[in-house]
């Protein structure tokens, strides 16, 4: 949702022999020693936590890539990247925070992304099929209601929410990061709020290029990067963007992005154009955290509202963040996410952040 190809645009060393902090409740992150957290419990040849998982699709069997970091029987967070079509790599900042909190987490490149198979079949880029893919990954990794947290960012937030609507009985907690629960509402916010924040001359030229369908024209990204991306995607000068972010952006599956999102940054026209689950939110009973940021491409007020519509909703606001607030409002983001997980592990269903 909000990422186009930009062209060429060890675990954190803080894990000690005994992980302090987060010592509340049986089986919560802090109850494991560092040695237990780092122990590889797999059998056979050790792969550094990497596992290729076979998944069945309407057009055959393919393999998706996963990598587990840490070992905590009570807390396992599966990360769903955005795009659609990006890779897990822009989420590598979690390695600087989750291990010190004793949180086991799993990177996962969705089908067509990163290290996973790319069937080059756009009919497989479909939300319902992706939900079933996540369920197959969950089963293969032996995640269950006693330990399974699903964290989805941007497009990954759509996928996580849609998964929860069908399979919330498998979840311990749900985290929706930087994604509105209505694509029509996002479309309206992009056109009526974000676009109008641009310099009128810049906006007019972008709209001209879009009308001419010149989305691959270097001028298009040449305008978006300094005028939009550095304001609403990651609030840093382009030459200071973190290497994992640039690495992930350089590998985006453009066919997947355009199929699902559409080619424009100011609106949505792909398969997700009409996606809207706002009326279904009250059916979500799993503890759910919504994350919004002041300068996000997504309206933070919508995410706050969404947290009031689910049965057990919590809300985390990142006042200095944009769409990648795990990078540009990092302390607020990571502290809040870890506090939410700790709270749910302690038996809370809503956590004040």
Spot the catalytic one: 116, 130, 154, 307: 154
CA distance 261 to 22: 39
314: β partners: 289
For residue 208, the model assigns a pLDDT of: 95
CA distance 163 to 171: 10
Instruction: Report the chain (353 residues): mean pLDDT per 10 consecutive residues.
Output: 46 34 42 78 92 97 98 97 97 98 98 97 97 98 98 98 98 98 96 93 94 93 95 97 98 96 87 97 98 98 98 98 98 98 97 97
Q: Are β-strands 148-153 and 76-80 bridged in parallel, bridged antiparallel, or unpaired?
A: parallel
For residue 32, the model assigns a pLDDT of: 45
For residue 3, the model assigns a pLDDT of: 54
- Tell me the pTM: 0.92
* Domain coordinates in residue numbering, the chain: 29-185+271-345
Concerning whether 154 is annotated as a catalytic residue, the answer is yes
Tell me the pLDDT tens digit for each residue of 95-138: 999 999 999 999 999 999 999 999 999 999 999 999 999 999 99
What are the residues whose beta carbons fall under 8 Å from the beta carbon of 278, sequence distance 6 or more? 181, 182, 185, 306, 309
For residue 18, the model assigns a pLDDT of: 33
Spot the catalytic one: 323, 328, 329, 342: 323
Spot the catalytic one: 32, 117, 187, 296: 296
The closest alpha carbon to 292, from 153, 105, 163, belongs to: 153
For residue 130, the model assigns a pLDDT of: 98
- CA–CA–CA angle 300, 246, 141 (5° rounding): 75
For residue 4, the model assigns a pLDDT of: 52
Tell me the pLDDT tens digit for each residue of 263-280: 988 778 899 999 999 999
- What CATH superfamily classification does 29-185+271-345 receive? Alpha/Beta hydrolase fold, catalytic domain (3.40.50.1820)
User: How does DSSP assign 327-347, residue by residue?
Assistant: HHTHHHHHHHHHHHHHHHHTT
Answer left, alpha or beta for residue 72, where phi above 0 means left and psi between -120 and 50 means alpha: beta
């Amino acid at each position: 949702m909000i990422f186009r190809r930009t062209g060429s645009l060890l675990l954190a060393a803080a894990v000690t022999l005994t992980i302090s902090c987060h010592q509340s409740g049986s089986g919560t992150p802090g109850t494991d020693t560092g040695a237990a957290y780092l122990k590889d419990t797999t059998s056979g040849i050790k792969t550094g936590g990497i596992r290729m998982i076979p998944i069945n699709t309407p057009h055959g069997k393919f393999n998706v890539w996963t990598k587990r970091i840490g070992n905590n029987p009570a807390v396992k967070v599966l990360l769903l990247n955005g795009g659609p079509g990006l890779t897990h790599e822009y989420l590598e900042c979690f390695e600087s925070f989750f291990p010190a909190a004793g949180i086991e987490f799993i990177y996962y490149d969705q089908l067509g992304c990163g290290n996973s198979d790319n069937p080059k079949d756009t009919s497989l880029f479909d939300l319902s099929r992706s939900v079933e893919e996540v369920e197959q990954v969950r089963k293969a990794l032996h995640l269950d209601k006693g330990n399974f947290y699903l964290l989805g960012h941007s497009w990954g937030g759509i996928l996580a929410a849609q998964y929860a609507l069908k399979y919330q009985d498998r979840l311990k907690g749900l985290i929706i990061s930087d994604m509105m629960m209505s694509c029509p509402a996002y479309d309206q916010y992009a056109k009526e709020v974000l676009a109008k924040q641009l310099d009128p001359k810049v906006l007019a030229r972008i709209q001209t290029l879009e009308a001419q369908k010149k989305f691959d024209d270097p001028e298009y990204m040449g305008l978006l990067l300094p005028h939009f991306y550095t304001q609403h995607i990651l609030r840093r000068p382009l030459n200071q963007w973190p290497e994992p972010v640039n690495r992930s952006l350089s590998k985006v599956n453009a066919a997947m992005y355009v199929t699902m999102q559409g080619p424009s940054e100011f609106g949505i026209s792909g398969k997700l154009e009409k996606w809207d689950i706002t009326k279904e939110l009250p059916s979500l009973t799993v503890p759910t955290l919504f994350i919004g940021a002041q300068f996000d491409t997504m309206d933070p007020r919508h995410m706050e509202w969404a947290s009031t519509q689910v049965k057990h909703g919590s809300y985390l606001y990142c006042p200095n963040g944009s769409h990648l607030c795990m990078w540009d409002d990092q302390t607020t983001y990571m502290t809040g996410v870890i506090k939410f997980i700790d709270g749910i592990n302690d038996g809370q269903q809503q956590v004040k952040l």
